[in-house]
Amino acid sequence: MARFVLSLGGFSAPLVCARISVELLVLIAAMIPSPGERFDEWWTNAGYEDSGYDDVFYHDVPPALAAEARRRERDEKAKALCEPWPLNARPRTPTRYLLCRDDRMFTPTWARRHARERLALDADEMNGGHYVTLSRPGELAARLDAYASLPRP
């Protein structure tokens, strides 16, 4: 079983990997927490600075789809976001980090550094913005399919 997660899912997906067998975890434009780190501390600890763009999420999503996505947004107020990340270490699950070259939230330069510092690996790259799932679903599906086809260590 492979897991593919986007953005904030970088906090929850490793928790799943620690509990069940997962063959591959692909973090897509994701946040990577350190053991014991709280969500509200991550921004400073990870060296993230606001990009300054007006539309960091939907700039490359078709307008009608972006409007629908905005309509369905909800505030992230989960209790887990106020508590320290519970794992003492990252799970041993093989992991890939896929950054999006047009991402205005986690810019490519920042994401490359984040993947190196937090995962000790070089990020893979594809075109698209932060919500590549909406702006380039076919290209993303092809990339994920290619990952799923890779031999396992």
pLDDT higher than 80, residue 97: yes
Distances (CA, A) of 28 to 84, 91, 106: 22, 17, 10
Range of the domain at 97: 2-149
Instruction: Summarize pLDDT for 22-59 with one digit per residue, the tens.
Output: 999 999 999 999 999 998 899 889 988 765 556 788 88
Predicted confidence at residue 3, as pLDDT, reads 65
- What CATH number does residue 102 fall under? 3.40.50.1820
Give the integer Cα–Cα distance in Å for 54 and 17. 35
pLDDT higher than 70, residue 2: no
Domain tally for the chain?
Answer: 1
pTM recorded for the entire structure? 0.87
DSSP letter (8 states) at residue 81: G
Residue (of 131, 102, 120) closest to 30 by Cα position: 131
Q: Which residues pair with 98 in a beta bridge?
A: 28, 124
